[in-house]
């Protein structure tokens, strides 16, 4: 992977595209595959798009919409008011799909896309499809909700959302996925993945801290991450810490050498896993039954 830069993209308001909260394309990032944008629609507004030669995922961060496409129609997608009050609805769309999203309430939707040369069926993902995992322990406990997990019927995209209670660490111990490695039986031990983090913080003044660093020291960046920021991880380890008092949410889109989340821990910090004897009782922060399905 050729890395030109690490981007932190604060919230924008694109004057040429009303309703765009934030956007980073693969060309912006200087990498090959993954793009993301987040849009807000007022009730009654419609946003139309085509996937072209890409597969795409639409994740409802809040609100309810309908989606009409040449791959099918979904009269009601969404349900949670915001990411801190329910599990996700999402829609996977293959290449060569024309679609129109109409907001039935005010809507915030994250759109991730990556090039594809395969055809897979469109699919609606509802909260009942979202597996909840409580990972880590003590001050490194966090919640991971699957959206488009490894093994999903698509070519490249993976999508998960992560909740980190205030004061806790996430993506910890630090891990990376920037080199494709397989064992002798073809099992992926580590995938080479481009990754984006889209942040939401439980209070507007809150923040999280993210470090991105490589083994050789060529990259070592520490960033303050606020509501609606996008952080790009082109390579290296990338742990996150949520500021005390502020629960942190982030949506991860990933795409790369395999439809996988295979990773390698930083060997300097992997020992911390052995100290996890209890989970943080604050988790899960969101759970089944909070949202309308």
Cβ atoms 111, 23 nearer than 8 A: no
- Quote the CATH superfamily of domain 8-275: Jelly Rolls (2.60.120.10)
Backbone angles phi, psi at 84, to 5 degrees: -90, 5
For residue 16, name the pLDDT band (cuts at 50, 70, 90). low
Dist. CA 193–CA 4, nearest whole Å: 15
The pLDDT value recorded for residue 257 is: 97
Q: Radius of gyration (Cα) for the chain, nearest Å?
A: 18
In this predicted model, which residue has the larger pLDDT, 28 or 265?
265
What does pTM read for this prediction?
Answer: 0.94
Q: Where are the domains of the chain?
A: 8-275
Longest dimension (CA), the chain: 54
Q: In 3D, which of 269, 257, 249, 207 has the Cα closest to residue 108?
A: 249
Q: Is the peptide bond before 12 cis (omega within 30 degrees of 0)?
A: no
Instruction: Give the Å distances, CA to CA, from 151 to 146, 147, 156, 157, 196.
Output: 11, 11, 10, 10, 20
Q: What percent of the chain has a predicted confidence (pLDDT) above 90?
A: 89
Cβ atoms 21, 41 nearer than 8 A: no
Q: In 3D, which of 52, 53, 58, 54 has the Cα closest to residue 38?
A: 58
The pLDDT value recorded for residue 8 is: 65
For residue 293, name the pLDDT band (cuts at 50, 70, 90). very low
């Amino acid at each position: 992977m050729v890395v030109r830069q690490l981007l932190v993209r604060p919230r924008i308001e694109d004057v040429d595209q009303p309703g765009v909260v934030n956007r980073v394309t693969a060309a912006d990032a200087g990498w090959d595959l993954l793009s993301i944008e987040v849009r807000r629609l007022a009730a009654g507004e419609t946003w139309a798009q085509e996937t072209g030669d890409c597969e795409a995922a639409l994740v409802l961060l809040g609100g309810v919409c309908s989606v009409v496409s040449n791959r099918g129609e979904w009269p009601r997608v969404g349900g949670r008011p915001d990411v801190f009050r329910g599990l996700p609805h999402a829609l996977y769309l293959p290449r060569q799909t024309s679609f129109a999203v109409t907001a039935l309430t005010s809507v915030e939707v994250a759109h991730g896309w990556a090039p594809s040369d395969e055809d897979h069926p469109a699919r609606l993902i509802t909260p009942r499809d979202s597996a909840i995992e409580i990972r880590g322990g003590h001050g490194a406990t966090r919640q991971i909700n699957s959206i488009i997990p490894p093994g999903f019927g698509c070519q490249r995209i993976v999508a998960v959302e992560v909740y980190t209670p205030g004061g806790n660490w996430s993506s910890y111990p630090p891990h990376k996925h920037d080199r494709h490695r397989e064992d002798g039986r073809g099992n992926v031990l580590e995938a080479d993945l481009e990754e984006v983090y889209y942040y939401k913080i439980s209070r507007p003044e809150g923040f999280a801290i993210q470090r991105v660093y490589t083994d050789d020291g060529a990259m070592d960046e520490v960033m303050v991450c606020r509501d609606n920021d996008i952080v790009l991880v082109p390579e290296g380890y990338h742990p996150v810490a949520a500021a005390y008092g502020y629960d942190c949410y982030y949506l991860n889109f990933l795409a790369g050498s395999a439809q996988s989340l295979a990773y390698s821990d930083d060997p300097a910090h992997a020992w911390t896993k052995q100290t996890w004897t209890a989970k943080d009782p604050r988790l899960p922060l969101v759970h089944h039954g909070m949202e309308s399905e």
